[in-house]
Every structure is written in structure tokens, then in C-alpha cells.
Structure 1
Amino acid sequence: MRRQLFLIAIGSVCGYLMISWVPNVTPFVWANFITDFIFRPLRSFLAMICFFVGFLANAAVIRTFIEGMIRFIWKQTSHFREWFASCGIIGSFYWLFQLNARLALLFFIFSVVYGMISIDFAGSRRYKKLL
């Protein structure tokens, strides 16, 4: 449960830093956006690192959330407190959507897709077959 809360905190902080460091070009012009990235390389690099670390942390929480729901539907044993702690990701994304909807949506899509890709229900059985 602590791990899930820690990952939610890391994902939220990284999402906030990514949103604050990515240039806000209004109205959006691709050339101005790229120019701002080029002329501020440290800020751009840090925003990319925060995006990467944040979506990996959120993907791990989303994976736990989805696995818990599926195990509950299949009536298998699951860790209820860990699943309940992973529900905090909803509040984290709500907060990020209030800051910047487009970047938060991009962050959300990457997190959900990678979280769904990394789900593995047969992992515990696979190692027993190899032995």
C-alpha cells in the first residue's frame, strides 16, 4: 500500500513539473513550440525526464488498479488495501487535468496504454512450468 501511495505521489509531482516546464504556446503554432524547446534545452530535457518517470509510475498504479478489478470480477483473492490505495490515481489525474487538459490527457493515455500492456496474470504460473 505504501508503494502505491509513493508511486501516486511521484506520478503527480512529475506530472505537475512536466506541465509547468513544457512551453505554453497560445495559440498553438508548431514552429513557436519547437523554437521554445530548442532555446530552453535544460527545461525541455527535464520536462521529458519528468514525463517519462511520471508515466511509468502512473502505469504501475494503473496496472495494480486494473488487476485488482479483474481479480475481483473473477472472484480471485486480491489485496483490497493495495487496490483501494491505487484508486488515488483518479484524484491525481483530476488535479492534473485542472492544470492543463491537453498535456494531462497525453500523460493519461501513455500511462493507461503502458499500464495495460504490462498486465501479466500468468506470470506466477510461467515460472512453475519452466522448473
Structure 2
Amino acid sequence: MGRLWMIAFVAVLCTYLFFRWLPPLEPFSPTLFLTQLLFSPFRTWLAFACFLLGVAANGALLSIAVTGTVRLLSGRRLRLGQWLFSLAALGHFYWAFQFHWRLAALFFVFSFFYGMMTLRSRQTMPHRWP
């Protein structure tokens, strides 16, 4: 459970820092974005690093949530505390969608696809060879 706390903390922190450190996007101006990239490259690259780390952490939370949901619907045993905690930790996307919905949607889609790619097929369904 300690590992899950750390993943949730990293997910929330990286999501916040990504939105905080990214150059202003409303109204979007390519010249302003490139100027911020040139004159403040460390901050912009940290935002991109937080994006990648946040996608990985949110993907892990989504993977746990989806695996738990499949186990619950199929009637198999699941770790209820981990499942509920991962669902609660994903609540930070509500704040992200309030801040900038397009960017949050992109962040969520990348996290979702990363989480689904990391699912192990033997955990969600039995693997049968022909």
C-alpha cells in the first residue's frame, strides 16, 4: 500500500507541476510559446518531464482501477482498499479539467493508453494458447 501512496503522490504532484510550469496556453500564441521555451528552457523541460512522469503514474493508477473493476464485475477477489484508493486518487483529474480541459483531456488520454498497455493479460483474463 505504501507503493500505491507514492504513485498517487507522484501522479497528483506531476499533474499540478505540469500545468503550473507549462507556458501560458490561453490564448495560444506560437511566438509566446517559443519565446518561453527559449528564455525559460529549464521550466519548460521540467513541465515536459512532469508530463512523462505523470502519464506513467496516472497510467499505473488507471491500470489498478481497471483491473479492480474487471475483478469486481467478474466476481473474483480484489484488493478493495487499493482499488478504492486508486479511484479516489484519480479524482485530481477533476481539478485538471477545471484548469484547462483540452490539455487535461490530452493528459488523460495518454495516461489511459499507457495504463492499458501496461496491463498484464494474465491478470485480467486467462491466457489460452491454441
Structure 1 and Structure 2 fold alike (TM over 0.5): yes
Match of 1:71 in 2: 71
Q: Which runs of 4+ in 1 moved over 6 A?
A: none
Match of 2:13 in 1: 13
> Cα RMSD (Å) of the superposition?
2.1
Distance 2:9 2:103 in 1: 18
Cα deviation 1:6-54 (Å, max 9, x = unaligned): 2122111111111011011432122332232222110011111111111
Distance 2:118 2:25 in 1: 34
Give the alignment's TM-score, normalised by structure 1: 0.85
Unaligned runs of at least 5 residues, structure 1: 127-131
Distance 1:94 1:9 in 2: 16
Unaligned runs of at least 5 residues, structure 2: none
Cα deviation 1:64-122 (Å, max 9, x = unaligned): 00000011112122111111111113321112222222222221111111111111131
Match of 1:114 in 2: 114
Identical pairs, percent: 34
Task: Give the aligned length.
Answer: 127
Distance 2:2 2:100 in 1: 28
Distance 1:62 1:107 in 2: 13
Q: Which has the higher contact order (CA 8 A, sep 6+)?
A: 1
